[in-house]
């Protein structure tokens, strides 16, 4: 039972840093290797298999703004801790790709082995590399709706010639890392950039806001973006013996009715099926499925609405 850890997104000029943490257990998944050696299509297939078949999977995210505030080294430690804190199954060793123990200052530090090129040698580390890469790529692929000029779906935030040209023409966005040397010149002028005032990627931000809201109320966030064959569960939270699978729905204004009006009956059934799979996968007797509405800018979080409770009918 090895907990494999790997990061993606250290080099891009924009977007989050993501750390994957995976305990494969006794589930053999063929084709696992360093995510950089796989095609995008193969990574997608393997990521879905890992999310549904591995004993435990989690992701630790650090936003571009957090990275700018604390620096890359601290961001890597923070993202790793965030990923590991979501793993609740037992394991006997932690293997981190690379040569730095990002958990050295935590209670988990003594369980860590660092290994260069582990993402091509250790199956659970390969799996962590793949799920982190796919999750980050999917996040970046959603950004064109908000920042279409940058073409994030083409380069995932890396400093390509096209990306550099778009920054020169349009300035920077909230997703750009202004602590990186090529972008430091924009630090004094970011508030003057018109693109910063445009709508930001509301989906991930709304999920983060709801996660923080739950944590402030004494809940523990067990998982984010847990994928199933039917849909992705935005959040899984726990307080005492109560576990909730949470769907976050964001709207700019109050039009369109209540929270359940944001979801069709088919979408609601998919959420119940996903919650049932989470319950079965983790051998849980009871899991609740909720939708949480988030509206406006600044965001206002509404009262969670129960969709159903297992066993689901």
pLDDT (tens digit per residue) in 105-162: 888 899 999 999 999 999 999 999 999 999 999 999 888 777 889 999 999 999 999 9
Q: Extract the runs of DSSP E, i.e. beta strands, from the chain.
A: 2-8, 17-23, 56-62, 93-97, 112-115, 220-227, 232-239, 242-251, 288-295, 300-301, 305-309
Q: Are the C-beta atoms of 10 and 72 separated by less than 8 Å?
A: yes
Please, which pLDDT band fits residue 16 given cuts at 50, 70 and 90?
very high
At 176 the pLDDT is 94
In this prediction, residue 196 carries a pLDDT of 35
At the second CATH level, the architecture of 202-309 is: 3-Layer(aba) Sandwich (3.40)
Of 280, 277, 275, 175, the closest CA to residue 235 belongs to: 275
The pLDDT of residue 198 is above 50: no
Closest CA to 228 of 51, 45, 4, 22: 51
Q: What is the pLDDT of residues 252-286, one digit of tens each?
A: 765 545 555 667 788 888 889 888 888 888 888 88
Global pTM value: 0.61
Q: Are 53 and 29 in contact (CB under 8 A)?
A: yes
The structural domains of the chain, with segments of one domain joined by +, span 2-141, 143-197, 202-309
Residue-wise pLDDT tens digits, 39-95:
999 999 999 999 999 999 999 999 998 888 888 998 999 999 999 989 999 999 999
Quick check: 215 and 236 in contact, CB under 8 A?
no
The pLDDT tens digits of the residues spanning 160-193 come to 999 999 999 989 998 999 999 999 888 754 443 4
Alpha carbons 176 and 88: distance in angstroms, whole number: 33
How far is the C-alpha of 300 from the C-alpha of 297, rounded, in Å?
A: 8
31: left (phi over 0), alpha (psi -120 to 50) or beta: left
pLDDT, tens only, 227-258: 777 788 999 999 988 999 999 988 876 554 55
Burial class (CB in 10 A: 0-12, 13-18, 19+), 192: exposed
**CATH pick for 2-141 out of 3.90.25.10, 3.30.420.10, 3.10.180.10, 3.40.190.10:** 3.30.420.10
Tokens encoding 144: 């064109």
Angle at 40 between CA 38 and CA 45, to 5 degrees: 85
Tell me how far apart the alpha carbons of residues 311 and 109 are, in angstroms, rounded to a whole number.
39
Cβ partners under 8 Å of residue 47, min gap 6? 130, 131, 133, 134, 135, 227
Length of the chain (residues): 313
């Amino acid at each position: 039972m090895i907990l494999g850890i790997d990061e993606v997104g250290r080099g891009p000029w924009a977007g989050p840093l993501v750390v994957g943490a995976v305990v494969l257990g006794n589930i053999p998944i063929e084709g696992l290797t360093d995510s950089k050696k796989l095609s995008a299509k193969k990574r997608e297939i393997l990521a879905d298999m890992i999310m549904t078949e591995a004993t435990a999977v989690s992701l630790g995210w650090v936003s571009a703004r957090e990275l700018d505030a604390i620096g890359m080294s601290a961001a890597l430690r923070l993202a790793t801790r965030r990923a590991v804190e979501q793993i609740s199954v037992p394991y006997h060793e932690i293997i981190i790709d690379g040569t730095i123990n990002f958990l050295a200052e935590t209670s988990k530090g003594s369980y860590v082995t660092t290994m260069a090129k582990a993402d091509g040698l250790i199956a659970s580390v390969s799996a962590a590399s793949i799920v982190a890469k796919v999750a980050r790529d999917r996040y970046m692929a959603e950004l064109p709706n908000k920042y279409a000029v940058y073409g994030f779906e083409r380069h995932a935030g890396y400093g390509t010639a096209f990306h550099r040209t778009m920054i020169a023409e349009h300035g920077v966005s909230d997703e750009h890392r202004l602590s990186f040397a090529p972008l430091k010149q924009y630090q004094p002028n970011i508030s003057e950039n018109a693109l910063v005032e445009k709508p930001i990627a509301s989906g991930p931000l709304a999920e983060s806001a709801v996660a923080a809201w739950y944590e402030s109320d004494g809940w523990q966030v067990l998982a984010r973006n847990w994928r199933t064959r039917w849909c992705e569960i935005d959040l899984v939270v726990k307080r005492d013996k109560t576990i909730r699978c949470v769907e976050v729905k964001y709207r700019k204004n109050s039009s369109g009715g209540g929270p359940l009006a944001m979801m069709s009956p088919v979408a609601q059934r998919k959420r119940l099926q996903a919650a049932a799979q989470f319950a079965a996968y983790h051998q849980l007797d009871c899991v609740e499925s909720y939708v949480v509405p988030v509206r406006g800018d600044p965001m206002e979080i509404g009262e969670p609405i129960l969709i159903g409770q297992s066993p689901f009918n």
